[in-house]
Structure 1
Amino acid sequence: MKSRRALLDLPRLVMRRAVLVGLVTILLALVVGLYRAQDAIDDEVEAAMTLAAIMARLGTLSAIDDTNAVESLRVLQADGRLRHLELELHTADGRRLLSPPAEPASAVLPESLGQLHRRLLPAPDRRSVSWLVARPSGPPWTATLHASSEGERREALADLAGIFGVLLGGIAGLLLVMRWNMRRAFAPLAELLDAIGGIERQALEPVRRLPTMPIRELESIAMALRHLAAGLEQAEARRRLLSQKVHTLQEDERTRLARELHDEFGQRLTALRFDAAWLARQVADQPELLGVVQGMSARCAEVQQDIRQMLVDLRPFGPAGSEAATGTLPLDRLCAMLEALVQGWRDTRSATTFSLTLDLPPGREAIELPLDLALTVYRISQEALTNAARHAQARHITLQLRLEPAPDGPDRGWLHWSVRDDGVGLAGAAAALQRGNGLGGMQERVWAQGGEWQVLDGENVRLDTEWPGLLLRARLPLNPPPATPLSDPAP
């Protein structure tokens, strides 16, 4: 079994490689410092030996002619540099015979840095030591050693540049390592943000896909999101169960009312029509009374027709029969009922165009829908068409049904439902959804089936369809999740 990675604290993850870079920087600075120290020691020794050689040669100048004496000193100065000293040689009349060699240009430091240092921190007054050098013929020469700060300035600035370069490299390394650590540490934040967005959209699948976070702090957030998602799932399941019970009670009450209308009111209207028919035969020779009786009979027939329509609205699937026994309804029958519903509106609203669009796969006659799902689709279609026809002032209203079967079987997948119109839209959609009837009731029915509900209004519809107005959408699973009572979550 693959072992889980040990959870790391965020400060530890961010700093552990940064500490390593800091140690490497310190070690590199030590190496550079030791190298520069050894270089300075070698320069000091070489300068001391050069000074000793020059002093020894000055002691022997009294036996050497002028040309060879000056040339020998110039060669000594060219072979080895004096540190912090400059040698000059003058005749008795002040003519310079020997000048200090020109300072070599630094390969590391720009000249502007030396000039800046001279301007900010000028060197102290130049000090010098002079003495006479005897000549074999003629007056003695004057040898002068001047104290020079330029060499030391260059060396100090070079040391500073070396240390600065090491520090700059170390800081850059620290920043790069910390950036890499931070990117690695917060890489799972994208999944966490996606999970939070899923909770906002009431889609909990991103939360379920959350892996184990590599950071203890992020894992704490992920655990909180998982607990929140579990709580939301349980609350949603309870809400779905309650909504199903409410709608079941509504349908039971509608069935009871339909039964009473059919058994009580319907029978009495039938008896009343029989009485009116008998009375019409009795007054057949009295035209005035016969017209009144026939009008009463016609009114009774109209009331009976209205009751039949009310029975269809209250009990759309008819009296309990095979559907109630099997708990399913053929998809073809649902489509026929929706076509009849749309046709009923066509017959009563000639100024508005009603259309039904079905996008169903071949073999739909074999598809059986759960009775609750079919009733939900019919009821929300009934409510949506009624709202659009009565309140939207729409010219075009379209009901669309599309089946998206799953690869593992025709009885699985999704049923996509929508009603759209080109009417005035809806003001206060959020408030309308809070109410228990209308949009709120439709949303509750969809949620009770484990589906997804969406309301698009105004410019949102304009972007989504060719019509402005209102677009209602539902995405319903063909096999809704069972809504069983859940125990309270553990504290």
Structure 2
Amino acid sequence: MTERALRPALPRQILVRSLWAAMAVLLLALTLGLLRMNDDIEEEVDAALNMAALMSDLSVLPRQDDEAALRTLRERLEAGAPRHLALQVLDVHGRVLLQPAAGGDDHAAADGPAMRALMQAHRLLADPPDARTVAWTVARPQGGAWTVRLSASHDSERREALGSLLDLLLMLCLCVGLLLGLMGLTLRRAFAPWGALLGAISRIEDGDGGPVRRLPAMPIGELQALQTALRHLVDALDEAQSRRRALSHQLQSLQDDERARLARELHDEFGQQLTALRVDCAWLARRIGDDAELAPVVGAMGATCARIQQDIRALLVRLRPFAGLEADGRVPVAELQRLLQALVEAWQPQGLVCRLHVESGSPTLPELPQDLALTLYRISQEALTNAARHANATQVDVQLRLQAPTTAATETGGGGVQWSVSDDGRGLPADEVRQAMGRGSGLAGLRERVWALGADLRLEPARPGAAQPGLRLAAVFGWRGVAAESDAPVCLDRAAEAASPRDDR
């Protein structure tokens, strides 16, 4: 049986709990009805006995004088008036001798505003009461006769009926309230994890699928199915993200391979030709001797060739900074620091004050993977170029903080290299970040290189609140750098280059 089959769906939960609520209300109504029935039985029995006692008192009126007879009737009515009836006694001349309140009207003073309003509304809606009356004469010892009348009391019956109606409405309100409460409780419990679910979905938009994997089991089948679908989506996104990172890393490797090829071509072609040209200039200088007109020209030609060779050497370093270390695949931290220092110093003559800060949490640090070292060099190079050309900066700080990794950090690729570049330029407003990332190969290429090694590029003001807030670029890398070669796609250009002969002139 699947997890979904074990967990009832939300409609079924609501129906089942509503059924239980209805059964509970019916049971409560039955209990209250039985209790009310006992009260009604007692009232009916008391009313019958009161009526019988009244008939008994009326039967002895002919044997009592007027005062005793009226006192007996008043005592009887005070003890218990006939239910829904009004007793009236008239003398032989039609004068009222006894006219108590109607059988239920003695409770009128105790009626609340709601009962009085309902009774008034019913009087307006209902037909006017008829004047049905039962009357008979009673002989008197002193002569003459009394007339005894029993009239129906509509207000008493109306009050009793409205009381029963209000009890029924109260029961219905209780039933509806209980059903709504249970439904609300069921829905609240069912959707209690909804906040965590929405939070996890928002983290998916940020590229973080961890909260989805940490979601607890959902209380209803619909949310559990949604959670399962989200987990599958996160797994698919992670797989696609991994493939994209590997592809991005492959593209960056292709670019570096192309730079290395260009560096070899420059070294092989221009290096030999410039060396030959310098040899020729030296031979020509010896042949012309101390010719005052030709010697300066030949000397300038030799100096120009030397400057071109120096420029080509500097260009070769920028194109292939870790020449000779390709076979080992590891770069000493000291070598990376030397190259970064040379990169920083190269901008000094152009009016940009650059400083390099390298901090180490341990005197002995392992060598960096070549991919990681090359990425640190390239992103520093691009960040310095952006600060000088686009940010109108005058000062730039390049900071590299290296933390010796623990065994666990090495196995998981935990962050051990913190890189940042800060400038004092005009900064980059938030509304321009997307445009800057979408044009050219500056920040976009920099972010792509950082992302290819599993890190994220952060952009933030270097000096928040200042007139020139500047820009700070930061990223944290793991010591392993990129994934293993077996996890990355095969580089077709490298395979083709290895399979075909290359002219190493």
Judge same fold: TM > 0.5, yes or no.
yes
Letter in 2 for 1:191: A
Post-superposition Cα deviations, 1:5-43, rounded to whole Å, max 9, x if no partner, equal: 922211122333232112111222233233333423332
Letter in 2 for 1:433: M
Are positions 1:397 and 2:400 aligned together? no
The alpha-carbon deviation at position 132 of structure 1 amounts to 1.9
Task: Quote the residue 2:184 is aligned against.
Answer: 179
Number of residue equivalences:
476
Residue 7 of structure 2 aligns to a residue in which SS? coil
CA contact (8 A) 1:191 1:210 kept: yes
Residue 452 of structure 1 aligns to a residue in which SS? coil
Task: Quote the residue 1:387 is aligned against.
Answer: 386
Residue 475 of structure 1 aligns to a residue in which SS? strand
Structure 2: how far apart are the matches of 1:103 and 1:471? 89
The alpha-carbon deviation at position 401 of structure 1 amounts to 3.5
Pairing 1:44-443 to 2, within 5 Å after superposition: 44-101=44-101, 103-104=106-107, 105-106=109-110, 110-121=115-126, 123-317=128-322, 319-321=323-325, 324-345=326-347, 347-350=348-351, 352-358=352-358, 360=359, 362-363=361-362, 365-403=364-402, 411=410, 413-414=414-415, 415-421=417-423, 422-423=425-426, 425=428, 429-434=433-438, 437-443=441-447
Query: Structure 1 pair 184/266, CA: closer, same or farther in 2 (3 Å)?
Result: same
Query: Structure 1 pair 337/165, CA: closer, same or farther in 2 (3 Å)?
Result: farther
Letter in 2 for 1:475: V
The alpha-carbon deviation at position 400 of structure 1 amounts to 3.5
- Structure 2: state its 5+ residue gaps: 490-505
CA contact (8 A) 1:394 1:424 kept: no
Structure 2: how far apart are the matches of 1:364 and 1:172? 73
- Aligned-residue Cα RMSD (Å) equals 3.0
Residue 457 of structure 2 aligns to a residue in which SS? strand
Structure 1: how far apart are the matches of 2:459 and 2:153? 87
Task: Quote the residue 2:479 is aligned against.
Answer: 478
Structure 1: how far apart are the matches of 2:24 and 2:246? 64
CA contact (8 A) 1:273 1:297 kept: yes
Post-superposition Cα deviations, 1:86-124, rounded to whole Å, max 9, x if no partner, equal: 112222344433232451244786544434443444652
The alpha-carbon deviation at position 185 of structure 1 amounts to 0.8
CA contact (8 A) 1:84 1:147 kept: yes
Structure 1: how far apart are the matches of 2:16 and 2:420? 56
Letter in 2 for 1:383: E
Query: Structure 1 pair 340/13, CA: closer, same or farther in 2 (3 Å)?
Result: farther
The alpha-carbon deviation at position 486 of structure 1 amounts to 8.3
CA contact (8 A) 1:452 1:474 kept: yes
Residue 250 of structure 1 aligns to a residue in which SS? helix
Structure 2: how far apart are the matches of 1:46 and 1:277? 143
Post-superposition Cα deviations, 1:420-479, rounded to whole Å, max 9, x if no partner, equal: 4432537754355356722222222222211223445xxx88769995354433332333
The alpha-carbon deviation at position 356 of structure 1 amounts to 3.9
The alpha-carbon deviation at position 58 of structure 1 amounts to 1.1
The alpha-carbon deviation at position 190 of structure 1 amounts to 2.5
CA contact (8 A) 2:9 2:222 kept: yes
Residue 155 of structure 1 aligns to a residue in which SS? helix
The alpha-carbon deviation at position 302 of structure 1 amounts to 1.5
Query: Structure 1 pair 349/295, CA: closer, same or farther in 2 (3 Å)?
Result: same
Structure 2: how far apart are the matches of 1:120 and 1:420? 86
CA contact (8 A) 2:278 2:305 kept: yes
Task: Quote the residue 2:493 is aligned against.
Answer: none
Query: Structure 1 pair 236/146, CA: closer, same or farther in 2 (3 Å)?
Result: same
The alpha-carbon deviation at position 485 of structure 1 amounts to 4.8
Query: Structure 1 pair 438/98, CA: closer, same or farther in 2 (3 Å)?
Result: same
CA contact (8 A) 1:392 1:424 kept: yes
The alpha-carbon deviation at position 274 of structure 1 amounts to 2.4
Structure 2: how far apart are the matches of 1:120 and 1:408? 90
The alpha-carbon deviation at position 172 of structure 1 amounts to 2.1
- Structure 1: state its 5+ residue gaps: none
Q: Which moved more, 1:376-385 or 1:123-132?
A: 123-132
Structure 1: how far apart are the matches of 2:221 and 2:312? 67
Residue 293 of structure 2 aligns to a residue in which SS? helix
Structure 2: how far apart are the matches of 1:133 and 1:448? 117
CA contact (8 A) 2:421 2:472 kept: yes
Structure 1: how far apart are the matches of 2:475 and 2:48? 95
Structure 2: how far apart are the matches of 1:97 and 1:106? 27
Letter in 1 for 2:398: L
CA contact (8 A) 1:129 1:144 kept: yes
Structure 1: how far apart are the matches of 2:43 and 2:467? 87
Letter in 1 for 2:192: A
Query: Structure 1 pair 90/249, CA: closer, same or farther in 2 (3 Å)?
Result: same
Structure 2: how far apart are the matches of 1:416 and 1:81? 98
TM score, norm. by length of structure 1: 0.87
The alpha-carbon deviation at position 379 of structure 1 amounts to 0.9
Post-superposition Cα deviations, 1:195-240, rounded to whole Å, max 9, x if no partner, equal: 2222211112122223332322112212221221222122122222
Query: Structure 1 pair 476/94, CA: closer, same or farther in 2 (3 Å)?
Result: farther
CA contact (8 A) 1:332 1:364 kept: no
Post-superposition Cα deviations, 1:333-377, rounded to whole Å, max 9, x if no partner, equal: 4344333322322x1332x4434455x452053243222112112
% same residue: 45
Structure 2: how far apart are the matches of 1:343 and 1:353? 9
CA contact (8 A) 1:54 1:76 kept: yes
Structure 1: how far apart are the matches of 2:184 and 2:463? 44
Query: Structure 1 pair 335/6, CA: closer, same or farther in 2 (3 Å)?
Result: farther
Residue 468 of structure 1 aligns to a residue in which SS? coil
Task: Quote the residue 2:30 is aligned against.
Answer: 30
Q: Which moved more, 1:89-98 or 1:440-449?
A: 89-98
Q: Which moved more, 1:374-383 or 1:243-252?
A: 243-252
Structure 2: how far apart are the matches of 1:37 and 1:123? 30
TM score, norm. by length of structure 2: 0.84
Task: Quote the residue 2:6 is aligned against.
Answer: 6
